[in-house]
Chain A
Amino acid sequence: MENAQLISLSKQIALQRQMDVVANNMANINTSGFKAENILFEEYVMPVARDQDFPSLDQPLSYVQDWATMHDLSGGAMVQTGNDLDVGLNGDGFFAVQTPAGERWTRSGAFQLSATGTLVDLNGNPVLGEGGPIQFGAEETGILIAADGSVSSSAGPKGRLRLVEFANAQELTREGNNLFAGGTPVAATNTKAMQGFIERSNVSGVAEMAEMIRVTRAYESAANLAQKQDELRRSAIQRLGDANA
């Protein structure tokens, strides 16, 4: 009897999660290199009695279950900043950074130099070149980053940024701080570095807004369904329980 309510409850919980995902995308609409997330749902079919001898067979019930979040890895808008240490990536690749917990991947190319001249990300994690972190001397000027990621300055070549690609980028997990973890990195072949550009977040405000409206409406209708079901039950109890009936 409560099946209808439980089904709408499963829908409500899934929609709440979806709202969280929409809110997180929207909150990060100005975060450099942020990739939007999409949540996927699947039907969960309730197992029913297997015996075929009942006069009427059990109806299968389907619940909804949130199953995975997918990274929307499409490119964000490239904005020209004119800053030497801003690097945008054109293609599916990621930068590699060295964090205390190991190598991590990021699309946010807003780099800085540390006090000792190492190329670092906004949290001070060294950005990895093919042979380790990229180091600049105190008197070097004119930092140039070529399309293939090779870095040079007034003191000559400085190595090459380690750009990585993933066969299945959906395996990556998010760590916060614009970092992705995991996956099996291979050297990038189809990714070009663009110096002086920054990749904005790929969140589309309009699409997220529409999604949000859809989610709130769907949630309301689920809540409504639960309400109707409850009313139905209440009136059934009232009528059937009435001694004068």
Chain B
Amino acid sequence: MTTNDDLTTIEVDQYFPHPPAKLWRALTTPDLMAQWLMPNDFEPVVGHRFTFHGRPVVQTGFSGQIACQVLELTPPKRLRISWADADDPGSMPTEVAWTLQPEGQGTRLILEHSGFDPDDPTQQLVRRLMNGGWRSHVLRRLTDVLQPVVCVRTGI
């Protein structure tokens, strides 16, 4: 689990004891995607536009509807899509990329969510507060500390 100090990108990686082809199916089959992410009308075709239908999250101003487009599709290695709040067309779209790396008997999945606005006042505040590596260091440590604390707030 890594946290990038660059606040415009979130990076999360996880090892799964499953072959890349199986992971690829879970990442690109609409019914399976709905089980772990959100209901959607995804199609594995570059250029295809689709929507994720989630539940709104008031705290984060998330409308629940995400407008996406398939940007890159390289089975079973990499999937990249655009990701924008469908109810906020003025906001800059971000990008989500999944990279699959064979590792031992399984697969390491690296997720990068990039393109967050570095000029966003909230993020500027966070950057001011969390400079000098404090943020990533503490977040990593807190993740360990908070493992027992169950609090799922994404509501999706």
A and B: bona fide binding partners: no
